[in-house]
Amino acid sequence: MLFLYNTATRHKDEFKPQNEHQVTMYCCGPTVYNYAHIGNLRTYIFEDLLSRTIRLRYPLKHVMNVTDVGHLVSDADDGEDKMEVATAREGKSAWDIAKFYETKFWQDYDALHCTRPTIISRATQHIPEMIALVKTLEEKGYTYRTSDGIYYDTSKFARYDALVGHARISGLQGGARVEMSDEKRNPTDFALWKFSPKDKKRQMEWDSPWGVGFPGWHIECSAMAMKYLGHTLDIHCGGIDHVTIHHTNEIAQSEAATGEKYVNYWVHGEFLILRSGKMSKSGGTFVTLDVLKEKGYEPLAYRYLCLGAHYRTQLEFSYESMDSAAKSLKNLRALCVQAQQAAQGQAQETEKSRAWKQKFVAAMEDDLNAPKALAVTWEAVRSAELTPAEKLDFLQFADTILALDLFAKSEPAAQQLPAEVTALLEERARARAAKDWKKSDELRDAIAQAGYLVKDTPQGQQTEKK
């Protein structure tokens, strides 16, 4: 049995799909106006664990959107569109910005071994569906017009506080987070369709029954999720920050339009934080996967770090914890490779290996307890009870969920290095230990002449063929 913590019921519920032949899941995707930071990527790693765990039992249809228009800088429906802000910053067209950051996003996503969604839906390619949804809401009397757009009247939807609870919505009423514009009827009302400014032509704008403009961010997700997955989704995920506004608004729009329940299980991942506070794209505290790679970490070391914390607990990022994740991954792989070699590559499934696999699955099916599944993996690989062939059977299975490349030989380059280069590297390591930087640089050149590039990383020197 699979149990998931459901934000809507506030407890761990047994997961029962509507149709066992196809589980439906929608995950809020990236807004492609900048690089994804490692906090965003933590959320996609958690969603990947969820997707891999579901697939152990059921076929899965997984939809993820790409927000390439309409996500405003402020949650209060004012401020500029993030895409247009990026245009001003980078001097490129909004379309080029979207293309560039989306490509980059999938590179990071793949490098972290996140499974690609079944369907990737771009907001700009679904404008007619969004307009149709707004029209339905208008016909049903949920909308009103202001000078800058068509708004949703949240007072007309009785269950508006369903996801977050009344107390938190009352907090919003007090104006804690959402500023009240003059024309809004209620502080929680939000834009479904925004008009283009009269004095300025936007790069991304479309005709609509209400005038030229662009869709609101919330309507994008509702329209795309329901287009591909039907009126009621089994699972909807995202980061915890989306609960109060984005997902609350998605429920309001979708349920008002269809009269049916929108989502059966809401699953939210907690934040990655920095010791100094929130990871922020504007505050200079913005760590990307490229930054980690430049510092010599492989992307999967970051995946290992994320797996070590339960998805519903905050994870504080630090380079010390990255070092320790990289080291643990290296040690775990060494043990896995040892087992593989001892078994001569021949896995054997037995009752014992099956029992260990069940232990692993039980951890994952208990609300995705990846730290426990990881602990089971360490225990199995060190266990005297299992033969190497049984270990191999277990580990091959565990890696279909962990996706850590458990059988990668951690330093393949080092093993094939010519003796001359190995000697130069050793000499350079000694020079660096003695802080003789001049000699270290000379040796780097000598190594380059021998055909290898050397990089200094927290794990020591790493080489790469030129």
Q: Is 216 in the site for ligand AMP (CB under 6 A)?
A: no
Lookup: tokens for 416: 């094939």
**91 contacts 57 by C-beta, under 8 angstroms:** no
Q: Binders of ligand AMP among 67-86, rule CB under 6 A?
A: none
| Stretch of 40-48, 115-123, 143-151, 254-262 lying at the interface with ligand AMP (CB under 6 A) | 40-48
Q: Whose Cβ is closer to ligand AMP: residue 113's or residue 145's? A: 113
| Stretch of 21-29, 191-199, 271-279, 357-365 lying at the interface with Zn ion (CB under 5 A) | 21-29
Contacts of 404 (CB under 8 A, 6+ apart): 113, 300, 303, 304, 307, 329, 332, 333
Task: Report the alpha-carbon distance of residue 249 to residue 77 in Å, rounded.
Answer: 13
How many CA atoms are closer than 13 Å to the CA of 259, on its beta-carbon side? 2
DSSP 155: G
- The listed partner (ligand AMP, Zn ion, none) that binds 221, CB under 5 to 8 Å by sort, is Zn ion
Which of 70, 238, 299, 388 forms a contact with ligand AMP (CB under 6 A)? Answer: 238
Q: Binders of Zn ion among 184-223, rule CB under 5 A?
A: 221
Mask for 247-276, x = binds ligand AMP (CB under 6 A): ------------------------xx----
Closest approach of Zn ion to the CB of residue 248, in Å: 11
440: three-class secondary structure by DSSP: helix
Lookup: tokens for 319: 């380079």
- With CA atoms as reference, report the closest residue to 347 among 405, 389, 384: 389
Closest approach of ligand AMP to the CB of residue 72, in Å: 12
- The listed partner (ligand AMP, Zn ion, none) that binds 272, CB under 5 to 8 Å by sort, is ligand AMP
Closest approach of Zn ion to the CB of residue 247, in Å: 7
Q: Whose Cβ is closer to ligand AMP: residue 316's or residue 426's? A: 316
Closest approach of ligand AMP to the CB of residue 268, in Å: 8
Which of 126, 242, 247, 333 forms a contact with ligand AMP (CB under 6 A)? Answer: 242
**Cα–Cα distances in angstroms (integers) from residue 137 to residues 152, 153, 184, 196, 324, in the given order:** 8, 10, 17, 21, 52
Which of 6, 31, 121, 369 forms a contact with ligand AMP (CB under 6 A)? Answer: 31
**447 contacts 424 by C-beta, under 8 angstroms:** yes
| Stretch of 27-35, 194-202, 404-412, 416-424 lying at the interface with ligand AMP (CB under 6 A) | 27-35
Which residue type, as a one-letter code, is found at position 262? Y
- Residue 67 burial by Cβ neighbours in a 10 Å radius (0-12, 13-18, 19+): buried
Q: Is 285 in the site for ligand AMP (CB under 6 A)?
A: no
Closest approach of Zn ion to the CB of residue 238, in Å: 6
Q: Whose Cβ is closer to Zn ion: residue 3's or residue 106's? A: 106
- Residue 141 burial by Cβ neighbours in a 10 Å radius (0-12, 13-18, 19+): exposed
Which residue type, as a one-letter code, is found at position 369? N
**118 contacts 224 by C-beta, under 8 angstroms:** no
Spatial strand order of the sheet with 315-317 comes to 277-278, 272-274, 315-317
Residues near ligand AMP (CB under 6 A): 28, 30-31, 39-40, 42-43, 238-239, 241-242, 271-272, 279
Residues lying near Zn ion in the complex (CB under 5 A) are found at 28, 221
